[in-house]
Amino acid sequence: MSESSQERTGNADLWASGVVALGALAVALVPGVPPLVGLVVGVPFVLLVPGYALVAAVFPRAGETTPWDERRVFWTSRLALSVGGSVVAVGAVAGALDFTVWGFAREPVAVGLVAFTVVAAAVARFRRARVPAAARVTVTPGAVGTRLRSVAVGDGVAGAALTVVVLVAAVGAAGVVAEEATSTAETTELFVVGEVDGERVAGAHPTNLTVGRPADVTVGVGVSGPDSFDGTVVGHLERAAVEGDTVRVTRRWEVARFGVSVEPGDRSLVEHTVTPRRPGDPLRLTYRLYPDGADRPLREVHVWVAVAPT
């Protein structure tokens, strides 16, 4: 077997990470995927794969993650570190998205985590190639199942203890993710619509406003989960500086504030007037949805408008 062929087969874990990442991305972006499928695919991916790629990039040598020369403990410790690494990855992606035009939503987070995984896996492959073959981490396709069985049923006390810790952490984190996904972000929507021939249509909102003249805007809140929603919608006109993919708000003026109460499986449409006080082109009309008692918005939506002087 050639050296390049050995390198490819010895990085089966990295290739598998990339395939799983692309599968999770497809589930996140393709419309109509059942929520249960999204949880089954998405939760394991978020909990383990980005962190595994990160650990592989940081520790290209075999045995670096444990002081014992024991294969089972070595791979179990890598799995444990992967959970922590995934927490770091999610935090990094969320922090970066908070300063972009996309915000913290499912699709941008999925794209960000997949990009993180692919980059980390590429770095891991590069670093492994620089380590002597006898010392580098090597995972062949046939060894993947063996590694998983070794982690799950290893006979060492340390291996068993680490396996229990990893499983408890993963199940606990999965429960938190599932609870959050089904009770808030995945079941509540916020949108802006306009009226065309008596019907509410997305994208038909007013885009050319005038200082001092009221304009009718309709904001909708929908709930698809089993729980009702009570909260407040706050609207601002914002002067924003766009620098590449980053939007920096320099000034904002509140133009709307109203409460909403939505029953499970229903939508609430609230028509209100927006009266600009200052001109600008472009300005960002942004609405944020706050659950009762919350200081941070659950959802945010914005449209760009031009405000002309009188």
Distance CA 221, CA 290 (A): 11
Q: How far is CA 229 from the centre of its chain?
A: 23
Q: Is 238 left (phi over 0), alpha (psi -120 to 50) or beta?
A: beta
Say yes or no: 68 and 85 in one domain. yes
CB atoms within 10 A of CB 294: 12
Q: Is 57 exposed, middle or buried (0-12, 13-18, 19+ CB in 10 A)?
A: buried
pLDDT in tens, 16-55: 888 889 988 888 888 777 878 878 888 888 888 999 999 8
Sign for the pseudo-dihedral over CA of 34, 289, 218, 246 = negative
Residue 259 and residue 203 share a domain: yes
* pLDDT tens sequence across 95-131: 777 666 566 667 788 889 999 999 999 998 898 888 8
Number of domains in the chain: 2
Going along the chain, which residue ranges are E strands? 188-196, 199-202, 208-210, 215-223, 229-243, 246-262, 267-274, 280-291, 299-308
Identify whether residues 59 and 174 lie together within a single domain.
yes
> Which one, of 87, 67, 86, lies nearest residue 77 by Cα?
67
Residues 149 and 168 in one domain: yes
The domain boundary residue, chosen from 139, 165, 185 = 185
Domain co-membership, 276 together with 178:
no
CB 237 within 8 A of CB 282: no
Q: Assess contact for 209 and 226: CB atoms under 8 A.
A: no
| Spans of the chain, pLDDT less than 50 | 1-3, 5-6, 67-73, 151-155, 159, 174-183
Residues 109 and 227 in one domain: no
SS3 205: coil
Domain of residue 88 covers 3-185
- My answer on whether 148 and 250 are in the same domain is no
Last residue of a domain, one of 151, 185, 219: 185
Distance CA 241, CA 248 (A): 5
